[in-house]
C-alpha cells in the first residue's frame, strides 16, 4: 500500500495500515481457534475420530497467531520509533520557529533603536544649527588643571564636522586685543535657557552646584545655589567657588538665563 502522504507522515500512515491489517488477521485466527475450542467441548467424540488432523490444524492456528503477534510487536515498535522521531522533529521545528521569531524581534528592536538613535542625532544637529546668532556657554580652553568657560556668540554650525564657529564678543584688557573666533566641538557648548521662557529652564535646587556667569563679566565659574527660588523667573542666589571676602563667600544674584548645569569633570 503506497504512503498516504509525503515524507515521514506518509510512512506513518502506511505503518498504521499495516498494523490494522495484522490485527484483523489476528481476529480471524483467534475466532477460528475459539471455534475449535468450542467444538472440542461440545463434541469430543467427533474430535476423536480425526484427532490427528484436528490437532495439526489447531497447532497451525496457534503458530499463525504467534507469528501475527510477533509481527504486531515489531510493527508497534517501529511505530513508536517513528513517532518519537516525528515528536523530536516537531520540537526542533518549534524551537527553530521560536528562534526565528526571536531573531525577527531582535531585528525589529535593533531597527527601531537605530531609527530612534538616528532621529535623536538629527534632532540634536538641528537644535545646534538653530543656535546661530545665540549666546552660549563655551569651553574655549581646557588643560589638566583648568577649564575656561566664556559667553560667546554662535556664528555658524557645520553639520558635517559637528563644529561650532563662535565669537568672543568681549575683547581682552589689552588695547590691541580684538574679538576672538573659535571652532569648537559640540561637547564644548552649552546653550543658555531662553530669557523670555523661564518655564523651559532647568530648576536647580538649594545646594546644587552649577556653572554660572560671574556678575559683571562674561566668564563662567562653578557656584552653589544658596537659597530656594519662589518663581522660575527669579534670579539665582549663588556662592561662587574661590570668591571669598573677609573669610566667607558672598551671595550673588545671577539671572536664571545665565546659569547652566555643571559639566561632569569640570576643573577650576
Predicted local distance difference test score (pLDDT) of residue 239: 96
Least confident stretch, 19-28, 77-86, 99-108 = 99-108
pLDDT at 37 over 90: no
Predicted local distance difference test score (pLDDT) of residue 18: 85
Q: Mean pLDDT across the stretch 187-198?
A: 94
Predicted local distance difference test score (pLDDT) of residue 93: 66
Query: pTM for this structure?
Result: 0.55
- CB of 16 closer than 8 Å to CB of 1: no
Query: pLDDT for 220-248, tens place per residue?
Result: 999 999 999 999 999 999 999 989 888 88
pLDDT at 164 over 50: yes
Predicted local distance difference test score (pLDDT) of residue 58: 83
Q: Name residue, grid cell 569640570.
A: 266
pLDDT at 131 over 60: yes
Amino acid at each position: 500500500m503506497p504512503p498516504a502522504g509525503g515524507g515521514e507522515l506518509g510512512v506513518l500512515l502506511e505503518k498504521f495500515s499495516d498494523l490494522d491489517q495484522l490485527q484483523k488477521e489476528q481476529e480471524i485466527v483467534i475466532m477460528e481457534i475459539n471455534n475449535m475450542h468450542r467444538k472440542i467441548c461440545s463434541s469430543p467424540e467427533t474430535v476423536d475420530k480425526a484427532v490427528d488432523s484436528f490437532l495439526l490444524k489447531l497447532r497451525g492456528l496457534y503458530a499463525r497467531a504467534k507469528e501475527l503477534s510477533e509481527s504486531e510487536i515489531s510493527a508497534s515498535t517501529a511505530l513508536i520509533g517513528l513517532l518519537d522521531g516525528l515528536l523530536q522533529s516537531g520540537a526542533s521545528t518549534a524551537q527553530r520557529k521560536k528562534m526565528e521569531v526571536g531573531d525577527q524581534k531582535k531585528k525589529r528592536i535593533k531597527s527601531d533603536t537605530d531609527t530612534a538613535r538616528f532621529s535623536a542625532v538629527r534632532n540634536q544637529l538641528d537644535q545646534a544649527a538653530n543656535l546661530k546668532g545665540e549666546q552660549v556657554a563655551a569651553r574655549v580652553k581646557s588643560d589638566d588643571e583648568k577649564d575656561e568657560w566664556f559667553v560667546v556668540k554662535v556664528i555658524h554650525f557645520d553639520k558635517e564636522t559637528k563644529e561650532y564657529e563662535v565669537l568672543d564678543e568681549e575683547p581682552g584688557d589689552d588695547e590691541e586685543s580684538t574679538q576672538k573666533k573659535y571652532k569648537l566641538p559640540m561637547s564644548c557648548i552649552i546653550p543658555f535657557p531662553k530669557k523670555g521662557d523661564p518655564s523651559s529652564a532647568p530648576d536647580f535646587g538649594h545646594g546644587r552646584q552649577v556653572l554660572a556667569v560671574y556678575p559683571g563679566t562674561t566668564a563662567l565659574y562653578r557656584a552653589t545655589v544658596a537659597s530656594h527660588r519662589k518663581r522660575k523667573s527669579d534670579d539665582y542666589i549663588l556662592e561662587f567657588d574661590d570668591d571669598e571676602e573677609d573669610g566667607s563667600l558672598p551671595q550673588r544674584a545671577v539671572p536664571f538665563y545665565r546659569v547652566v548645569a555643571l559639566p561632569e569633570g569640570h576643573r577650576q
